[in-house]
Amino acid sequence: MLISIQNEREWRSLCQVLARPLMAAHVDYCTAVARVANRPRLDAAIGALFEQWEHDALVAALFEGGVAYGSVNPLDAVLEHPQLRTTEYALPGGAKSAQVVAHPVVDALAEAAGVRDGDHRPVPAIGEHTEALRQEFAL
């Protein structure tokens, strides 16, 4: 889990989420300068508190508390994420196609022209473009 505390309000919110409201006013953590000066100890304390939570419960509590966070997901969760876009590539020789992660950028001009994720050339066979590449690079 990655958290981002930008100001004192967010720091107090995190302390509330972690059920440690007094930590917000602790002399070693009450300002950004103090938190940076005591970062190793603070990181250890927050890490120990995070370990007491189930992942989904912590995500929900951070979201509800308005704390900026990023969840580091295992690969299976990444592949199931609702924002992950995939596209299908035809493989050479009539083999099955491969579902791969789509490019993260969606070009509005390409979309307006009707070009979609699946509008790409199939994966070339080994050596299929060798001669064209040799000519292009004068090899």
Question: Are 87 and 117 within 8 A, CB to CB?
Answer: yes
- Comparing 8-22, 75-89, 122-136, which segment has the lowest mean pLDDT? 75-89
Q: What pLDDT was estimated at residue 52?
A: 95
CB 1 within 8 A of CB 70: yes
- Cα 108 to Cα 103: distance, rounded to the nearest angstrom: 13
Q: Which pLDDT score, from 0 to 100, does residue 96 have?
A: 81
For the stretch 86-134, pLDDT in tens is 888 888 877 788 888 877 776 676 677 666 665 667 788 899 999 999 9
Which residue pairs from 47-51 have beta carbons closer than 8 angstroms and sit at least 24 positions apart in sequence?
49/18, 49/20, 50/1
Per-residue model confidence as pLDDT tens digits over 30-73: 999 999 999 999 999 999 999 999 989 999 999 999 999 998 88
Residues linked to residue 98 through DSSP beta bridges, in sequence order: 89
Is the pLDDT assigned to residue 16 strictly greater than 70? yes
CATH topology of domain 2-72: formyl-coa transferase, domain 3 (3.30.1540)
pLDDT of residue 123: 80
Token reading at 5? 């505390």
Domain boundaries, the chain: 2-72, 86-136
Q: Please report, as a single letter, which amino acid is at residue 49.
A: L
CA angle 90, 95, 101 (to 5 degrees): 40
41 contacts 29 by C-beta, under 8 angstroms: no
Strand-pairing partners, residue 118, are none
